[in-house]
Amino acid sequence: MDSIYITGGKPLKGKIPISGAKNAALTLMPCALLTDEKVTLENLPRLADCDNFSHLLNQLGVSTSVAGVKKGEYGRKMTLQASEIASTVAPYDMVRRMRASILVLGPMLARAGESTVSLPGGCAIGDRPIDLHLHALEAIGAEIELAAGYVKATAPKGRLTGGDYSFPVVSVGATENAVMAAVLATGRSQLFNAAREPEIVDLCRLLVAMGANIDGIGSSHLTIDGVEGLHGATHTVMPDRIEAGSYACAAGITGGQLDLIGARHEDMLAITNALAAAGLIIEFHHEGMKVTADRPLKPLALSTAPFPAFPTDMQAQFMAMLSLAKGESYLEETIFENRYMHVPELRRMGANIDVRGRSALVHGVEGLSGAQVMATDLRASMSLVLAGLAAKGDTEVLRVYHLDRGYERLEEKLSAVGAQIERRSAG
């Protein structure tokens, strides 16, 4: 199993290109199920999650082809085409690898009139629930049956009818599934308290390019008038705001200066506001944004919440950075339970962090020390890499397959700005 070795303590300086957004790509890819024509996605990041999703779509009848990429370039162009749906069943063996697989449920139901998808691996309804997905689909005309670990959704008359649904809590995935299902319904659907994340805006833009009729894009009230059919389109995946925020934290924790090429600041205002409050200098320009850390880090009080507030996917990275701030920082995690699994590993490196339920108190320390640490999830993995970049001595991050799910060629990008980092294979 691969590990990442880091010798820390060196400020990072230079340019880092920001890749296409993982969370957008995994929502855009299943749109290919909605038409028999070609859907081409440009700037698609080369990530394990995208590869796994591609394999799932192949099983459902979607052909995928990737254009060649020049050496040194990031992203790729993938063309997807579902001339016909070969299967309406997404099996557990595929779905267990990634929770985003549930996003084939809505578009497959809309196109084929039925869809059977395994419950995501480790999922008990109510814990990172998919019940909101199911209630939203029922509201727009689906009949839902749960049996033997699978969700079976059907449109009684072959097509969904449309309808209204108000989300009791904001859910990104459920909003995405409902939008993809509603675009081919026979009538109008309205979604209230819908998620507003930039990735959902990106999804709606692709669907509109394919011929969908969606009003209220970017707001919490979406109105979708179903159409008879959709056609193909070409779409460029939006830049990854979480990757950009992560590398901004790399500048902060190492006392460096990084130019994040392609970062779109309007998608990440809560992140950039928090970076500025921590003492970093943020400069926006036509190519992206420059992040400079030339003063001691300041402590923060942060609480995660749905967009446009501070994202849960940046909590771990900020925690690592704030472990070196001058004072005490307070973090509150309101989105997911068990999202502090990186804390024991950061403590191994010398961080002083107290956790009480969904709150964490980060007592700033003078410095971190290299250690062998274990990654537990995608964003936790990045927090350990950040800590390793700032730590004195050597750090080994184990289970780096988590990183491969969400950060395109991370070692290459960091090496180019002065990090001493390499991947090593066991044995």
Q: Is position 128 annotated in a ligand binding site?
A: yes
- Return the residue matching tokens 């016909």: 84
Q: Quick count: other Cβ atoms within 10 Å of Cβ 28?
A: 27
Tokens for 292?
């400079």
Q: Is position 51 annotated in a ligand binding site?
A: no
- Dihedral sign for Cα 271, 273, 278, 281, please: positive
Catalytic residue among 31, 50, 123, 204: 123
Q: Is position 132 annotated in a ligand binding site?
A: yes
Q: Which of 287, 250, 253 is nearest to 411 (CA)?
A: 250
Task: For residue 308, say if its preceding peptide bond is cis, omega within 30 degrees of 0.
Answer: yes
CB 246 within 8 A of CB 386: yes
Question: One-letter amino acid identity for 344?
Answer: P
CB 179 within 8 A of CB 203: yes
Tell how strand 114-118 and strand 150-154 pair up.
Answer: antiparallel
> In DSSP terms, which residues pair with 40 in a beta bridge?
79, 234
CB 165 within 8 A of CB 135: yes
249 tagged catalytic: no
Q: Is position 22 annotated in a ligand binding site?
A: yes
Q: State whether residue 289 is helix, strand or coil.
A: strand
Q: Is position 282 annotated in a ligand binding site?
A: no
- DSSP conformation class of 299: P
CA dihedral 88, 89, 94, 99 (to 10 degrees): 80
Q: Is position 129 annotated in a ligand binding site?
A: yes
* Helical (H) or strand (E) element with 24: helix 22-28
Q: Which segments of 73-195 are extended strands (E)?
A: 76-81, 89-90, 114-118, 143-147, 150-154, 164-166, 188-192
Rounded Cα–Cα distance for residues 224 and 393 (Å): 55
CB 160 within 8 A of CB 186: yes
Q: Which of 312, 325, 333, 379 is nearest to 351 (CA)?
A: 325
Q: Is position 313 annotated in a ligand binding site?
A: yes
Q: Is position 308 annotated in a ligand binding site?
A: no
| Binding site as annotated, residues | 22-23, 99, 128-132, 313, 335
For the annotated catalytic residues, the residue numbers are 123
Please state the residue numbers annotated as binding site for phosphoenolpyruvate: 22-23
Give the residue ranges of the annotated binding site for UDP-N-acetyl-alpha-D-glucosamine: 99, 128-132, 313, 335
